[in-house]
Amino acid sequence: MTDPAPAVRPVRPHFSSGPCAKRPGWSLENLHTDVLGRSHRSKLGKARLKEAIDRTRALLGVPDDYRIGIVPASDTGAVEMAMWSMLGPRPVDMLAWESFGEGWVTDAVKQLKLDARLLKAPYGEISDLAAVDPKHDVVFTWNGTTSGVRAPNADWISADREGIVICDATSAIFAQKLDWPKLDAVTYSWQKVLGGEGAHGVLILSPRAVERLESHTPAWPMPKLFRMVKGGKLNEDIFTGATINTPSMLCVEDYLDALKWAESIGGLETLHARADANAAALQAWVESADWIDFLCANPGIRSNTSVCLKIVDPEVTKLDDAGQRAFVKSMEKLLEEKAAAYDIGGYRDAPPGLRIWCGATVETRDIEALGPWLDWAFAEAKSHL
């Protein structure tokens, strides 16, 4: 017989790593609707898009000479825009320690056929950052959403570098400190730490990135959605609210709502602190449980947003990969049926395990309430082995 289910459930059992939990107190009624049904190129539409850009700059502390654009296709679109538009003139160091980083390697090697050097690490570890060549371009994912491993800092990026640095920051930005002078093209989707709706990406460009765009003509055909240059000059309209294709203005309103919430609770410092508190609460539970551990053993590079866990109980680890994944799915099913936790299975390409989102829109009390439910679901699933 397993123990009875815990009495206290998380108030919001939303622990998905994307799309992530909405901000506390979120409601459709909070969103302005006067822009719906209007053209995004209308005076009102452009004003809302420009407001989203301006509030983003202020909240993140983006330098005044960096451009911020809202682009299609979520973070993936933003990363590929940067890669396809800027890479080619130099060799490129591709850093990969999880599945999305490996996806950018595929673009570089198989699609663009670049002179690429792969610096790869297994899940739970990080690439050899000291091996990065400052004469090369660099592409890396700051926070590995599918591995729970993040870059500890940007000290390994040379201030005197000759290449440009493209950083996929989608599950890091708003939760971890970014070193703007070390980054030339930064990408994210607001569906992550701010819990916005999906399908839109943000691309932030340094002056060095703009110089590359204006001085380099790619050797391959450029899809319309990737084109940021007109007549050899940056298309500045993209970075003042004129998007390349039609955005969802409802999603923009949702993003604005999240930005205003972040401002109201104290800004970026508070967002960082909330994610840190959530990760600390989860860590306290992990340390109390003997059947689970972090996929990333090194706390210095462990994510405070997409926290990835592995089951270490010997009766589970002796199962083959398919058996371990089935075990995790059985836990997921139990938790969803009880409305205790949604969408906490590890990413499909990652080792079998759990992944708990601890970003700023999650409440610490819900992380604390989750732990006993995970213990219960594990015991219940194990009783059926």
Q: Which residues contact 315 (CB under 8 A, 6 or more apart)?
A: 382, 385
Q: What is the predicted pLDDT for the residue at 153?
A: 98
Point out which residues pair with 302 in neighbouring strands. Answer: 149
- pTM of the shown model: 0.98
Are 385 and 334 in contact by the 8 Å Cβ rule? The answer is no
Round to whole Å and give the CA distance between 209 and 165. 8
Q: Give CA 138 to chain center in angstroms.
A: 18
Q: What is the predicted pLDDT for the residue at 294?
A: 98
Q: What is the predicted pLDDT for the residue at 183?
A: 98
Q: What is the predicted pLDDT for the residue at 66?
A: 98
pLDDT per residue as tens digits for the range 78-121: 999 999 999 999 999 999 999 999 999 999 999 999 999 999 99
Q: What is the predicted pLDDT for the residue at 3?
A: 80
What tokens were used for 101? 């980083």
Are 108 and 116 in contact by the 8 Å Cβ rule? The answer is yes
Own/partner pairs, 286-293, CB within 8 angstroms, 24+ separation = 288/371, 289/371, 289/374, 289/375, 291/316, 291/375, 291/378, 292/354, 292/374, 292/378
User: 349-371 b/e with 16+ CB inside 10 Å = b?
Assistant: ebbbbbbbbbbbbbbbebbbbbb
Tell me the residue ranges of DSSP E strands in the chain.
67-72, 92-96, 116-120, 137-141, 143-144, 149-150, 165-168, 185-189, 200-205, 229-230, 233-234, 292-294, 306-311, 354-357
119 by DSSP, 3-state: which? strand
Q: How many CB atoms lie within 10 A of CB 117?
A: 15
The string of DSSP codes covering 200-251 is EEEEEE-HHHHHHHHH---SS---GGG--EETTEE-GGGGTT--SS---HHH
Are 2 and 376 in contact by the 8 Å Cβ rule? The answer is yes
Identity (one letter) of the amino acid at 229? Answer: V
Which regions of the chain are under pLDDT 50?
Answer: none
Q: What is the predicted pLDDT for the residue at 207?
A: 98
What tokens were used for 365? 């009390």
Q: What is the predicted pLDDT for the residue at 1?
A: 52
Are 13 and 227 in contact by the 8 Å Cβ rule? The answer is no
Are 112 and 221 in contact by the 8 Å Cβ rule? The answer is no
Strands 116-120 and 292-294: unpaired
Q: Give CA 62 to chain center in angstroms.
A: 18
